[in-house]
Every structure is written in structure tokens, then in C-alpha cells.
Structure 1
């Protein structure tokens, strides 16, 4: 069984349609891929995501790669081109949709494993940054599901690189996520 990343899924849909996707198209596809329901991210988790993603109403290239993915708002990617400008309302809306999608994805991946709100929020923040496919194949998730919470907490520190380079911002984010996980 092949698991496709979100980017691969959206690229395939764009190719099949022969045109780019609107934000409404992306939201509709996300609703199918990640149905509503399940756990929600707390204010602490949302604040953590927002603080590390920051807000940019103008699209910019990924700081780790200098290119893809092009990002806007609070770390929103997918169908964004350099030069795109958003309003605060667009950024807030995309954040709500994105966080909900990642919360649903993480909830599905952790299944019935006992999980505190802090653990859930920390894992959603990680997945929001590294992608659901990467989170889904992580040792962190395996340890969490096995009940090795101390081991899972130490795994956050491993996710501090972009394009093979240790990033100070990612190191700080992972420390904050690990702290939230342990709360």
C-alpha cells in the first residue's frame, strides 16, 4: 500500500483537472480527506502553533530550503505562489481549516491510545510542521502508542532539521512541543 503525501494528492488532482485549485477546492478536498469530528486542539496548542509559524500575509519561500513549499498566513502551504497576498481573515480561516485537518489526522493516527490534551496538542503542532505522513511513520508516534511517553517526549528533539540542516527555530519549537507533551 502506497501512502501519498498531501502534496502528491493535490498535485495529482491538479494534473487531472489541468488547472490550479482554488482555496474552496482545497478546503473541499481536505474535508473529504480529513472528515470533521474527533479531538480538537486546545488554546495552548493553537497558541504554540501560531507562535512558531508566525504570521505573514505575503507568500514567502520555505526558510529551510529557500524554495518549496511556498507559505502564507500561519504556515499554510498548497496552491500558493510567490506574490500572493492575503487578508487577516483569510489567514485566520486557513489556520482553522489546517489545524482541524491536522487534528483529525493525528487523532486517526493515535487511534485509541491514551492521550492527554497536552500530548495531543504537541503532536498536532509537530504534524502541522512536518506533515501527517512524516508524523505517521515516526518513532515518536510508535512510542506514544506503545505507552512509552518518556521515550516519545525525547523524540521531538530529532525533528529539528530542514534540508538536512539543524535549524535554531526548529530546535526551540521541538523543545516547546516536548514541554507541552509532558504537561
Structure 2
């Protein structure tokens, strides 16, 4: 991913250094219902009774994150780098032609894979066909 692509991904994901519940989880929905930000989940009475999975930290990292976990900026940056490398590997395994795209298009496809997962991206065959064709 190019430096500009990483910058765009950071902007899209945002940075949080304290774990927060997934926006679609019951706990995050309860926070919204009460007018709270997701980071304020501990203000929800008996918050442990609501699922917040998958918990997220850093730049959208949602694997093996625990409630209340606090990261440094250095850890968030390192995890983002590792996540980008993992997504790129998975993307190239599923769609080898992506490696031949110009850098800007490759950044866009990788950003999509980062957000949707490669399996989610594969559900967009018409879009992928257009990208592959250079449209």
C-alpha cells in the first residue's frame, strides 16, 4: 500500500487507543440509545450483559481485543502495518490480478478488503470485474 493509501485508510478507520464495542453490537446500540459514545460503554448499567463483540482498537483492528484494553500509538501503528500485510496477502491469494493494478487502484481494492474482508469483497463480482478491466 502506498503512503497515500495508508493515510486514506487511517482517515477512513480513525484512531482510538482504548478498545470500544463494535458499532453493530448490542452494547454499542444500547450506548447510542442512551446518547452515549461507544467509548462510554461502562456508563451503561450492567454493560457486561450486552455483547460488544468484536471489540476494536487502533485503526479498526478487531482481533483478540478485550474490553478496556489500552494501546499506545506505536502499537496501533505496528498492528495497522501487520493488518495491511495480512489483508494484502489474503487479497492476492484470492484475486492474483490485483497485484498488477496501478498503485492507486490497488490501494482502493486493499482499502475495500480491509473494511469488508476479502470474503465480503468477493461478493461484489461486477465491481471487481470492472476494476480488473480497468474501468
TM-score (norm 2): 0.71
Q: 115, 120, 123: which is aligned to 2:101?
A: 115
* Residue number among 116, 120, 124 corresponding to 1:134 in the alignment: 120
Higher relative contact order (CA 8 A, sep 6+): 2
Q: Which moved more, 1:48-57 or 1:62-71?
A: 62-71
Question: Is 1:84 matched up with 2:59?
Answer: no
Identify the residue that residue 59 of structure 1 maps to in structure 2. Answer: 19
CA RMSD between the two structures: 1.7
Are residues 142 and 68 of structure 1, via their aligned partners in 2, closer, same or farther at CA, if it must alter by over 3 Å? farther
For residues 118 and 90 of structure 1, the distance between their equivalents in structure 2, rounded to whole angstroms, comes to: 27
Report how many residues are paired.
108
For residues 64 and 125 of structure 1, the distance between their equivalents in structure 2, rounded to whole angstroms, comes to: 20
* 87, 91, 97: which one aligns with 1:102: 87
1:88 deviation in Å? 1.3
Q: Is the 8 A contact 1:57 1:73 kept in 2?
A: yes
Which of 19, 43, 57 is 1:72 aligned to?
Answer: 57
Aligned residue runs from structure 1 range 1-183, under 5 A? 41-65=1-25, 66=28, 67-112=52-97, 114-139=100-125, 140-145=127-132, 147=133, 149-150=134-135
- Asked if structure 2 preserves the Cα contact closer than 8 Å seen for 1:70 and 1:80, the reply is yes
Unaligned runs of 5+ in 2: 29-51
Q: What secondary structure is seen at the aligned counterpart in 1 of 2:97?
A: coil
Question: Which stretch has the larger CA shift, 110-119 or 122-131?
Answer: 110-119
Check the 8 A contact 1:110/1:141 in 2, yes or no.
Answer: no
**Cα offset for 1:142?**
3.6
Shift of 1:127: 0.8
